Amino acid sequence: MCIFCEIIDGNIPSKKVYEDDNFLAILDLSQTTYGHTLVMPKKHYDNFLAMPANEAGKLMEVVNIVANKIYKNLDCKGCNILMNTNEVAGQTVMHTHVHIIPRYNENDSIEIKFTENKFDLDEVLNKING
Ligand code: 5GP
Ligand code: ZN
């Protein structure tokens, strides 16, 4: 059983931010910033790509609720909401989870940098659209 399934089953303790029949949100142990939270489905899926679209949609509804709760009560200025999907993207726990990382200022202990590349956009589009 994966570590998040163990948490969901109550075999490993966690700090619960939100819970309903199908979803759980807990404080991330690493606390990249103050209030760093993980939202996950109770049903095991390895990652977002493995979820049926309707369940992925419900997950994002819960992310919206939890992010607003954090935004309202922690007095942050914004947040990064992200998912690492598969090892190549940095996923270490293979159970779908969304990170909500509250932001207090531009120097918070997290760095997300979008670099620029000059790919042929028509070629990219044709490949994606098949
Ligand atoms: P990933 O790298 O897969 O996107 O994120 C996994 C996250 O799970 C990491 O930020 C890590 O700190 C967190 N994490 C790993 N094990 C535990 C645990 O046992 N409890 C909690 N609350 N968080 C965990
Ligand atoms: Zn699991």
Give the model confidence (pLDDT) of 40-84 as tens digits: 999 999 999 999 999 999 999 999 999 999 999 999 999 999 999
CA of 28 from ligand 1 middle (Å) equals: 6
By percentage, how much of the chain surpasses pLDDT 70?
Answer: 100
Name the average pLDDT for the chain: 98
- 0.75 exceeded by pTM: yes
pLDDT of residue 8: 98
- Going through 1-130 in order, the beta strands assigned E by DSSP cover 16-19, 23-27, 37-41, 78-82, 98-103
96 CB less than 6 Å from ligand 1? no
Task: Give residues with Cβ within 8 angstroms of 40, minimum separation 6.
Answer: 4, 8, 23, 24, 25, 26, 59, 95, 96, 97, 98
90 CB less than 6 Å from ligand 1? yes
3 CB less than 6 Å from ligand 1? yes
Indicate if 97 belongs to the active site.
Answer: yes
